[in-house]
Amino acid sequence: MQKQILILIAIAMTCATINAMANPVPSRSASPSQKYTCVMHPDVVMDHPGNCPKCGMKLVPKTDSKPPASNVQHPTSNAENHMGHGGHESHQHDMSMKQMSMQSSVNIADPMNRESSGTSWAPDSTPMYGRMFMFGDDMLMLHGAIFPRYTNVSTRRGDDRIDAPNWFMGMYSHPINDNMQLGGRLMMSLDPLTEGGRGYPLLFQSGESWHDQPLHDRQHPHDLFDELSVSYSQKFDLDLSAYFYFGYPGEPALGPPTFMHRLSAMDDPDAPLGHHWQDSTHVTFGVATAGLQWSCFGGIKIEGSTFTGREPDENRYDFDRPRFDSFSGRLSWNPTQNLALQVSHGYIKGPEALEPDVKRHRTTASAIYNQPLGHDSNWSTSFVWGQNNDSGETTQSFLLETNFQRGRDTVYARWERVEKSGHELVLPDVDLAKIFPINAATVGYVRDLTHGRNVDVGLGAQFTINDFPDRLNRYYGDDFGYAFEFFLRIRPSQHVHLAMEHSDEMK
């Protein structure tokens, strides 16, 4: 009786989209032949200084030097700068370029802004939140988030409490040469300490167990170790590349980016109710994925995984036994800088420890659209559909979520509809086999108290309403189903924004 792994809460945040400065007046002394380009969008080339029309980043002088295809793309080497372009200023420009133009730790052919959870893709224009450290051409990016909060959930199955969902992550990449790269990730959560074994209140949520009993109306905590992975990638020519990813734990090629890695969900402390229909395999003890991708048409990738179907057990501090008894495949396409599409299917053997004989077939599709809106402003929206077929019982989920950020202010919303069985909700035998459509709508607001200075600390609140069939009143009561919470959201600031400030300080 129950469903899958419920999430890591609230990772979020990587490094950076970039918000611009005011357009400078073109210099009269500039060389007529000098061109200017964007470090995030090298296809943008202009004959005068200004801002990138795609992301708003300040344009930089274009050089003719061929950039090395390493983890960080810098247009000229330090030696070339000193010899040919006046030393100090060119060296500063090279360092700012190092900070702002980066590649994915999973595939050397991808821009870092495209990198999301596991091997999934986000739109290329997605802002990233994190702190980056360079060791030569090696890169270390640190991410994380924590949500100290008070939550109050209504109905007979509700609860109220103070807790703090959290996660922390590091991504590392080491270029072997211009066309090969090694990558590594470590992701951890202190949920076992802050949430306890039973997790936090979340009406109509289900999945996993506590004291050998299925959890319901709770979000389970995540393991201490949520990802420990390595990857190897290689470019074969300008259009073709491949990679191999191994995680223990890790995330297979199944579903959209995990909710806490989606910009549209990053300010919402709660997991979606459809998490176990869409992206719940993000903590899997034993994953091997191979992928092949083409840079044509924006970027097309096909990948396959073999992995452990069983979700993490109740011991949140150990490493579960790898089984490699399940498999999945995914097709991803980023047709434009602002859009990421995927379809995937997987076979998951015995996801729940209390139901080892269940054979689950999961199918998902998603579209994520991100629109930079100029200086320090962005709008991200995701649609996700997921279907589970559990040994013949088919249920579906739909999710639409959006996040609009302008300066210190962020407004977000989520709507979802999930079909949950009486078995999933741990109801008595009379309703065990019935399917109940559940609707949930959430709106929230966050105001940053500190913004863009290494760490963003935001004060937020959100309100959720639930719509459910009258037949469930006997279990949940006749009262209106709602939940509200007040929280702090603590995370790193946008990385590229900081790099821009650093670059300006050097000039």
pLDDT tens by residue, 225-260: 999 999 999 999 889 999 999 999 999 999 999 999
Mapping DSSP onto H, E and C, the string for 356-403 reads: CCCEEEEEEEEEEEEEECCCCEEEEEEEEEEEEEECCEEEEEEEEEEE
Predicted pLDDT of residue 39? 67
pLDDT over 80 at 9, yes or no: no
- Segment 161-207, tens digit of pLDDT: 999 999 999 999 999 999 999 999 999 999 999 988 889 999 999 98
For residues 13-25, give the mean pLDDT: 31
Mean pLDDT of 60-66: 65
3-state secondary structure of 276: helix
Does residue 336 carry a pLDDT above 90?
yes
Residue 30, pLDDT > 60, answer no
pLDDT score, position 91: 42
Which helix (H) or strand (E) segment is 100 a member of?
helix 88-100
**pLDDT score of 151 more than 60:** yes
pLDDT band at 501 (very low <50, low <70, confident <90, very high): very low
Q: What is the pLDDT of residue 57?
A: 59
Q: What angle do CA 227, 230, 236 make, to 5 degrees?
A: 135
Span 382-394, pLDDT tens digits: 999 999 999 889 9
Q: How does 444-483 read in b/e, with b if 16+ C-beta sit within 10 Å?
A: bebebeebbeeebebebebebbbebeeebeebbeeeebeb
Output the six-digit token pair for 224.
């201490």
Higher pLDDT, 452 or 1: 452
Q: According to the model, what pLDDT value does residue 52 have?
A: 66
Question: What confidence score (pLDDT) does residue 238 get?
Answer: 82
What average pLDDT score do residues 346-374 get?
95
- Give the DSSP H or E segment for 349: strand 339-349
pLDDT digits (tens, 9 = 90+) for 78-99: 333 333 444 444 444 443 444 4
For residue 229, give both structure tokens. Answer: 């992975």
Indicate the average pLDDT of the chain: 84
Omega of the bond leading into 249 within 30 degrees of 0 (cis) = yes
Predicted TM-score (pTM) of this structure: 0.80
Question: What are the pLDDT digits (tens) for 438-477?
Answer: 999 999 999 999 998 899 999 999 999 999 999 999 999 9
For the cut 60, the answer to whether the pLDDT of residue 114 exceeds it is yes
If DSSP codes are grouped into helix, strand and coil, which group holds residue 344? Answer: strand
pLDDT at 291 over 50: yes
| High-pLDDT (> 90) share of the chain, % | 70
pLDDT at site 40? 63
Q: What is the mean pLDDT of residues 310-323?
A: 94
